């Protein structure tokens, strides 16, 4: 199946939008003092913005 010529441009735009959305969400959580969870390759890890420490679940 052929790839449309504008597929790369659309893919790049979607990736940029997702990066911006995640950055905005993390900034909001940081400002509110809320934690978020990231995957460290083996397990989920809580990131706490106030203490700059992580705590494994």
The total domain count for the chain is: 1
Q: Are strands 53-56 and 36-39 parallel, antiparallel or unpaired?
A: unpaired
Predicted local confidence at residue 44, as pLDDT: 96
On whether residue 2 sits in a domain, the answer given is no
Domain membership of residue 42 as a residue range: 7-56
> By three-state DSSP, how is residue 17 classified?
helix
Closest CA to 57 of 44, 47, 48: 44
Give the model confidence (pLDDT) of 9-52 as tens digits: 999 999 999 999 999 999 999 999 999 999 999 999 999 988 65
**The model's pTM:** 0.69
Residue 1 forms part of a structural domain? no
Residue 38 included in any domain: yes
């Amino acid at each position: 199946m052929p790839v449309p010529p504008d597929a790369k441009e659309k893919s790049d735009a979607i990736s940029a939008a997702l990066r911006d959305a995640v950055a905005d969400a993390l900034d909001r959580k940081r400002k509110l003092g809320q934690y978020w969870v990231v995957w460290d390759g083996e397990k989920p890890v809580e990131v706490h913005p106030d203490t700059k420490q992580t705590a494994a679940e």
